[in-house]
Amino acid sequence: MTQPFLPLTARSREESHRAATPLELFFDLCFVVAVAQAGAELVHSVAEGHAGTGIINYTMVFWAIWWAWMNFTWFASAYDNDDALYRVVTLVQIAGVLILAAGVSRAFEEHDFLVVFIGYVVMRLALSSQWLRAAHHATDPAERTMCRRYAGGVVACQAGWTALLLVPEDVRPWVFLVMALAEMAVPVFAEKDVTTQWHPHHIAERYGLFTIIVLGESIAAATVAVKSGITENDALRELLPIAAGGLLIVFAAWWIYFVVPAHDRLSSNRQGFLWGYGHFLIFTSAAAIGAGLEISVEQAVGKAHISTLAASSAVTIPTAVFLLCVWLLHARYFKVGIAQQSVLPVASLAILMCTFAGHWAVFAAGLVAAATVAVGVTLTATNPATRDAA
């Protein structure tokens, strides 16, 4: 039975059988709404010939989504006591996510970030209150200082984001860059003397679950696009290669990400920062794959006024980025020999070359992705030293 109030103290990093809680899963589910909104607006921007602006807005919005999710995830890994107050504050953060999601369309179409900003204020104030609560219950002075640094850093950065509403439109990307760097500096500063007690297995599971969310969103977006194309344009012949190739790409992305034990790379705080921050590219590219598939479908049925090359690159580029980033962040540490180390970098290059395959580009990229998995499995099977690598 959930207790109303419990001390919000650090959990042990050595805790056994640590897994994601139902509240964390619910929290992730609400993020699906925001991810879906960002992907849909990216599709509309690219389809209407505004790829540059769309990519910039998508990057900014997705970063905001990812950063809010990451802040909650690492805090929860260290301090989740699951009492009633913790659940209520988490519910407030969820409300902030939904407000942010409601403002995504206006941010893309009218370049008005007010609603997104309000959603962020709700999320960040709730998070800051959690850090202050953890500071109140901390018995170690160094830990108490760390928690207060987090709380103060979150509030200070949130005040800084106000500039995004006040500066001219062409200056906003630079404001975003400065504030994003400031946000990512807060954990480094806060933990310079003592670190939070995050759990390696728990963090690896949480990141894996979010990867599944963005890949699942890719499948959902592509499915809706294909269904619409078939219903409205009777274009099964044109869409079947895209659907088949997209399915192979997403399945291969799932296989390649989960084939190695990611938690083994999370034995220290230094590795945790690099691994956690680097996942922004993994999550962004995984979500962009779904948007790219939708763009390819719209181009195939004549709804997107862009070239075949542009539509193909909307799929192949994020797919290549995903594979390369997975290799850089953790897969390469489980590879033995030049052959295994070369599989993902070579596959990324091959997928980029598929961009020039015309209407068959997505299907060709899917075949390359499937072949990458097959080659990885074969090399692993023939090398007894790397049974867990692909």
In degrees, rounded to 5, the angle at the alpha carbon of residue 355 between the alpha carbons of residues 353 and 358 is: 125
Give residue 388's Cα distance to chain centre. Answer: 24
pLDDT on residue 12? 86
| Pair (38, 132) in one structural domain | yes
Give the structural domain span for 354: 200-386
Helix (H) or strand (E) holding 273: helix 269-300
Q: Which letter does DSSP use for residue 92 in this model? A: H
Q: Which letter does DSSP use for residue 192 in this model? A: S
| Pair (250, 359) in one structural domain | yes
Q: Total structural domains in the chain?
A: 2
| Pair (46, 165) in one structural domain | yes
φ/ψ of 15, rounded to 5, equals -60, 130
Q: What is the pTM of this model?
A: 0.89
| Pair (147, 228) in one structural domain | no
| Pair (185, 208) in one structural domain | no
pLDDT on residue 51? 81
Q: What is the pLDDT along the chain (390 residues), one digit of tens a residue?
A: 567 878 888 888 888 888 889 999 999 888 888 888 888 888 888 888 788 888 888 888 899 889 999 999 999 999 988 889 999 999 999 999 999 988 888 888 788 889 999 999 999 999 999 999 999 999 999 999 999 999 999 999 999 999 988 888 888 889 999 999 999 999 999 998 888 888 888 998 999 999 998 888 888 877 877 777 777 767 777 788 888 899 999 999 999 998 877 766 776 556 677 888 999 999 999 999 988 998 988 888 888 788 999 999 999 999 999 999 999 988 887 777 888 889 999 999 999 999 999 889 999 999 999 999 999 888 877 765 554 444
pLDDT on residue 389? 41
pLDDT on residue 390? 43
Structural tokens at position 349: 């290059």
| Pair (250, 345) in one structural domain | yes
Q: How far apart are CA 331 and CA 284, in angstroms?
A: 18
